[in-house]
């Protein structure tokens, strides 16, 4: 992997985290009136995967969707405007954080109902195949909780049966709200083995190692394109903040202090940044310049969002929905 790509991966991860830190700071002002699910700590996954995707490839996400949207090229200005409920938002201010969409970048949808984007994504991939787009793929992001839904099995079965170009991406952060996976699933239950039982190739990848994600997903995505078969990858990761909202909630003690310490040491950005500094691929001055560039973009996006108008009855979408 060359220096330019390594720097790009780090830049994109830092950008995502700084965007969510800004959202975190602004949310308490109560101008964003939608629920938000932040993904701080999970940056490596969408960055590693999306750098192997073409513009024509499609993605779908769930309630924790900011990073997936941004990694695929979704407009930051439109995303922030959507959080503020403005007409210039990516869903014209009518969807909020959990319903992001960017047709130009082929971000098909984010839907908060757990597991719901799996059958939708299968439908998208099925449509692609019927229309002869055999080299494009559909990426479906979901959490470990979604694997407990019936549509998980149905979606895997249909994708396997019809050899659809789908990459199922399970971001396993071990918690469904406050419930650890060990309290929801038998210890012998394996997401990887479930996929294999449905005839789908599956791979486990370290969700904190952006380079490993990039390299392994590149091979997997190429295989999906050439052989026209689905694949599932499971990536262990960890959200640093509360399930829903801008704060930390570790005072609730649903996550053990030792567990938190272990995972924060695996921080994908801090470790990769340290590695690139040690390899002399970047310098401290480079990092300062990166932050300046990112903060300028973020501030412009928030200014744009705050100055944008709210939806009104002249909006075509508003008329379509409320007429």
Residue 198, SS3?
coil
Show Cβ contacts of residue 18 under 8 Å, excluding neighbours closer than 6 positions.
291, 294, 295, 298
In this prediction, residue 107 carries a pLDDT of 98
Statement: residue 41 has pLDDT above 60: yes
Statement: residue 103 has pLDDT above 90: yes
pLDDT digits (tens, 9 = 90+) for 6-25: 999 999 999 999 999 999 99
Classify residue 74 by its DSSP letter: -
In this prediction, residue 64 carries a pLDDT of 96
Statement: residue 174 has pLDDT above 90: no
Q: How confident is the model at residue 119 (pLDDT cuts 50, 70, 90)?
A: very high
Statement: residue 285 has pLDDT above 70: yes
Residue 53, SS3?
coil
Q: What is the CATH number of the domain that holds 51?
A: 3.40.50.970
Q: How confident is the model at residue 183 (pLDDT cuts 50, 70, 90)?
A: confident
Mean local confidence (pLDDT), 85-96: 94
**33: buried, middle or exposed (CB in 10 Å: 19+, 13-18, 0-12)?**
exposed
In this prediction, residue 317 carries a pLDDT of 61
Mean local confidence (pLDDT), 108-135: 94
Domain count, the chain: 1
- The parent domain of residue 68 ranges over 3-322
Statement: residue 319 has pLDDT above 80: no
What is the separation, in whole angstroms, between the first and last Cα of the chain? 54
In this prediction, residue 303 carries a pLDDT of 98
Enter the tokens of residue 108: 């098909």
Question: Around Cβ 111, how many Cβ atoms within 10 Å?
Answer: 22
Give the Cα separation of 190 and 187 in Å (integer). Answer: 8
* C-alpha 80 chain-centroid distance: 16
Higher pLDDT, 51 or 174: 51
Statement: residue 321 has pLDDT above 70: no
Q: How confident is the model at residue 186 (pLDDT cuts 50, 70, 90)?
A: confident
């Amino acid at each position: 992997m060359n220096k330019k790509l390594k720097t790009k991966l780090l830049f994109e991860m830092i950008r995502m985290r700084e965007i969510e830190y800004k959202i975190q700071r602004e949310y308490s002002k109560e101008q964003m009136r939608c629920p938000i699910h932040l993904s701080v700590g999970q940056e490596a996954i969408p960055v590693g995967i999306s750098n192997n995707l073409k513009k024509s490839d499609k993605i779908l996400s769930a309630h924790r969707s900011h990073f997936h949207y941004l990694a695929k090229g979704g407009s930051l200005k439109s995303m922030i405007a959507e959080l503020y409920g403005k007409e210039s938002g990516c869903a014209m201010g009518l969807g909020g954080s959990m319903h992001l969409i960017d047709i130009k970048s082929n971000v098909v949808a984010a839907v908060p109902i757990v597991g719901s984007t799996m059958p939708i994504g299968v439908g998208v991939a099925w449509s692609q195949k019927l229309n002869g787009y055999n080299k494009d793929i559909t990426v479906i992001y979901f959490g470990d909780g979604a694997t407990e839904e019936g549509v998980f099995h149905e979606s895997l079965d249909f994708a396997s049966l019809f050899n659809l170009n789908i990459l199922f991406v399970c971001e396993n952060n071990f918690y469904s709200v406050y419930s650890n996976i060990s309290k929801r699933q038998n210890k012998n239950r394996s997401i990887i083995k479930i996929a294999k039982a449905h005839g789908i190739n599956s791979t486990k990848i370290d969700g904190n190692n952006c380079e490993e994600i990039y390299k392994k997903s590149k091979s997997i995505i190429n295989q999906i394109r050439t052989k026209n078969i689905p694949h599932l990858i499971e990536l262990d990761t960890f959200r640093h903040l509360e399930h829903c909202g801008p704060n930390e909630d570790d005072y609730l003690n649903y996550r053990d202090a030792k567990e938190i310490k272990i995972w924060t040491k695996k921080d994908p950005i801090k470790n990769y940044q340290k590695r690139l500094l040690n390899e002399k691929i970047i310098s401290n001055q480079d990092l300062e310049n990166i932050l300046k560039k990112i903060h300028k973009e973020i501030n412009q996006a928030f200014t744009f969002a705050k100055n944008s108008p709210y939806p009104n009855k002249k909006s075509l979408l508003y008329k379509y929905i409320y007429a």
